[in-house]
Amino acid sequence: MMKARTIEADPKSRIVSTFEPEWEGGGAPSKTIFLISVEGPHCSLIVEHYDLTFPVVHGEGVADGWSRWAAGLKTFLESGEVHKFNAGEMA
């Protein structure tokens, strides 16, 4: 399980939150920043993740989690449906 708490927000442009893993070996809390900007008829979302206390390995842990999160957000924005990923489902 993971907790996230919003610690700062500028509506429609920036959200700063904590990233608090509660699983064994999950590491100390870190910080995420979501930057949102309008680009013509679309918007851009940049996710920055700071203060990690463990290595980020492509395809594992945090790196894999953000890929799943982005895919789930895309599914929700396009269809309005929530997608729940199972372990190993993303390649």
Q: Identify the CA nearest to 31 among candidates 12, 45, 52.
A: 52
Q: Is 20 helix (H, G, I), strand (E, B) or coil?
A: strand
Same domain, 24 and 45: yes
Structure tokens at 60: 């594992």
Q: Which domain holds residue 30?
A: 2-54
Residues 46 and 78 placed together within one structural domain of the fold: no
- Are 68 and 46 within one domain? no
Whether residue 40 contacts residue 32, with contact meaning beta carbons closer than 8 Å, is answered with: no
Report the predicted TM-score, pTM, of the whole model to 2 decimal places.
0.72
* DSSP structure class, residue 27: -
Give pLDDT, residue 90: 43
Q: How many CB atoms lie within 10 A of CB 10?
A: 10
Is 91 a domain residue?
no
Q: Which tens digits make up the pLDDT trace of 29-79?
A: 999 999 999 999 988 999 999 998 877 777 666 777 788 888 888 888 888
Count how many domains the chain has.
2
| 47 and 6 belong to one structural domain | yes
What whole-number distance in Å separates Cα of residue 52 and Cα of residue 61?
12
- Give me the pLDDT at residue 85, please: 63
